[in-house]
Chains A and B, each alone.
Chain A
Amino acid sequence: METLRVLVVDDEAGMRHAVVRALRGYRLHLPDVEGEVGFELEQAASGEEALELLAARPPDIMLLDHKMGGMSGIEVLEQVVKRELDVLTIMITAFATLETAVHATKSGAFDFLAKPFTPDELKETIRKAAGHLLTLRQARKLAAEKRRVRFEFISVLGHELKAPLAAIEGYLNIIRDRALGMDVAAYEPAVQRCLIRAEGMRKLIMDLLDLTRIESGQKRRELAPVDFREVAAAALETVRPAAAERNITLGLEPGEPQVLTADRGELEIILNNLLTNAVKYNRPGGRVTVRLTGDADRVVLAVTDTGIGLTPEEAAKLFNDFVRIRNDKTRDITGSGLGLSVVRKLALLYGGDATVTSTPDVGSTFTVTLRRNAKPPVVDDGKSRTVPLAAGN
């Protein structure tokens, strides 16, 4: 149970007791808040006493009488604003004129309550305040979590971008120092590795751009009916040269047209990532098969390879950011570790998902399910636009 602390500030003892009686034992259920919300009550008989309590242990909500002997409610409110206390203030006014209400709100009060009020009116005002407070806190927590995820993403990204540069610099040092002697041929592997690492770095940058595009929201998405089969056929042609080099056969199983409402560019990203992987991680002379099926609601893309395969542990983490399976079989294959994370994020955008089933040394099947008419995802408002480079996971 969430307990909110309420401070009642009023110079009339009767009023304070009435409020305490009404709210003690009051429980509420709020949308988006787990469990009940209850209240713990404290009292102050003057503005001065309220300030002392506020300094010692700020409450969550303050019910503050407008007109008191000594320090006035507005003066207390000014101190709360000045000290940037995280307290939601509800002004209690004896004369519910528009003027006092506007003045109180301008001075930083969340709401006001006119005397005399019934216990139900008090509870309703408290319910509104509690809802506002808890939603605000949840949003703050979420924003902090997003900042943490983004920070982590950027640290790993820093590492992933520096690593190829460090490797290239290392080889260049070797070449500069003629560390392998004067025979030019001895440097050939070093030059080759430099080229491979530069290519890997380019791939990482391209994937980052894809990721940024996905997460910049739907503004730039162009949704239209697209035949997935046609996009798949075109994507197969793009990987054909790489496949031919290693004698890998490509096959698209004929089937019905699979039309869905989609951004063609996004479907291309999904296919290119899966097909490039299916070729890269295949054995020479292997095979890549693309199957498209579907029902009234969904389109299912399955890309099967005859490659090195994955252990269940490897498969479990495969769709996370920057996951690359490192072993003897993959050491010479470059990749950014972002491709499959991009595929999964796109599938989620279409109300679907991406999964893998695999047997080591036999091959893997990557399955992507997309809804034909996915509801457009909720777009972040402009305020959080700069936050998530890598949400999810």
Chain B
Amino acid sequence: MAADILIVDDDVDFLTVLRVQLESRGYHVRTAESARAARELLRAQRPDLVVADLMMEEPDAGFSLCHQIKRQDPTIPVLLLTGVTAETGLRFDAETREERAWIQADGVLAKPVRPEQLEAELHRLLPNGP
């Protein structure tokens, strides 16, 4: 069965684009437009990986979602996406162990995400492929 990926972003176009990209690579995709909607989908079925935007209903909605997922099931890999790194002065490159521990995400990507970049991350986190 294809790996189930849950994508959470408040930009419907971003969801569409990622869905097309991932489905064409053989993944099964579910999408949510808010962290709240994502929580419901998480309850319905355990995804194999979550891709979440940082800034949604709240500036850090992605963070809290990530923390919640890790609390409930630390084995679900979470990729955080962010479009505001430079402007906020926040660094999300998770280069050090301390930062990774704090963010709890398994990877952080800056938007716009190049398709090959995302594919490399998925390959790293889901080594068995779609």
Contact = CB atoms under 8 A, between A and B. Distances in A.
Does B associate with A? yes
A326 B9 CA distance: 12
Nearest to A327: B33
Contact of B11 (A155, A158, A163, A190): A163
Contact of B14 (A167, A177, A179): A167
A167 B21 CA distance: 13
Interface in B13-44: 13-14, 16-18, 20-21, 24, 33-34
B17 A155 contact: no
A162 interface: yes
Nearest to B17: A170
Give the residue among B10, B13, B18, B20 with the most A Cβ atoms within 10 A.
B13
Contact of B10 (A171, A177, A190, A326): A326
B21 A193 contact: no
Contact of B33 (A174, A177, A326): A326
Give the bracket for the number of chain B residues in contact with chain A.
20 to 34
Nearest to B25: A179
Contacts of B10: 326
A162 B84 CA distance: 9
B17 A159 contact: no
Given A155-B88, A170-B13, A326-B33, A162 B21 contact: no
B88 to A, nearest CB: 5
B129 interface: no
B83 A177 contact: no
B73 interface: no
B115 interface: yes
B126 interface: no
Nearest to B12: A331
Interface string A142-154: 0000000000001
A3 interface: no
Contacts of A165: 112
Interface in A210-229: none
Q: Is the interface of A mostly helix, strand, loop or mixed?
A: helix
A180 interface: yes
Interface string B102-128: 000000000110010000000000000
Give the bracket for the number of chain A residues in contact with chain B.
20 to 34
B95 interface: no
Contacts of B84: 155, 158-159, 162
B88 A167 contact: no
Interface in A168-216: 169-171, 173-174, 177, 179-180, 190, 193, 197
Given A170-B112, A331-B12, A163 B83 contact: yes
Contacts of A177: 24, 115
Given A154-B87, A159-B84, A331-B12, 19 more contacts: A158-B83, A158-B86, A159-B55, A163-B14, A163-B83, A166-B14, A166-B112, A167-B17, A169-B112, A170-B18, A170-B112, A171-B13, A171-B16, A173-B17, A173-B115, A174-B21, A177-B24, A179-B20, A180-B24
Interface of B: 10-14, 16-18, 20-21, 24, 33-34, 55, 83-84, 86-88, 111-112, 115
30 contacts: A155-B87, A155-B88, A158-B83, A158-B86, A158-B87, A162-B83, A162-B84, A162-B112, A163-B14, A166-B11, A166-B14, A166-B111, A167-B13, A167-B14, A170-B13, A170-B18, A171-B16, A171-B17, A173-B17, A173-B115, A174-B17, A174-B21, A180-B24, A190-B16, A193-B13, A193-B16, A197-B13, A326-B10, A326-B33, A326-B34
